[in-house]
A and B are shown apart, each in its own frame.
Chain A
Amino acid sequence: ETGVTQTPRHLVMGMTNKKSLKCEQHLGHNAMYWYKQSAKKPLELMFVYNFKEQTENNSVPSRFSPECPNSSHLFLHLHTLQPEDSALYLCASSQGQGGPNSPLHFGNGTRLTVT
Chain B
Amino acid sequence: QKEVEQDPGPLSVPEGAIVSLNCTYSNSAFQYFMWYRQYSRKGPELLMYTYSSGNKEDGRFTAQVDKSSKYISLFIRDSQPSDSATYLCAMRPIQGAQKLVFGQGTRLTINP
Residues of A within 8 A of B (CB): 4, 31, 33, 40-43, 45, 48, 50, 55-56, 58, 90, 92, 94, 97-100, 103-109
Contact = CB atoms under 8 A, between A and B. Distances in A.
A97 B104 CA distance: 22
Contacts of A92: 43
Given A40-B8, A42-B4, A100-B34, A4 B104 contact: no
Given A56-B99, A97-B98, A108 B42 contact: yes
Interface residues of B, number: 26
Interface in B48-92: 49, 51, 88, 90, 92
Given A42-B4, A43-B88, A99-B92, A106 B45 contact: yes
B98 A33 contact: yes
B100 A98 contact: yes
A103 B45 CA distance: 9
A62 B103 CA distance: 26
B7 to A, nearest CB: 11
B43 A4 contact: yes
Nearest to B2: A42
A76 to B, nearest CB: 15
Nearest to B93: A99
Given A40-B8, A43-B88, A99-B92, A106 B100 contact: no
A50 B98 CA distance: 10
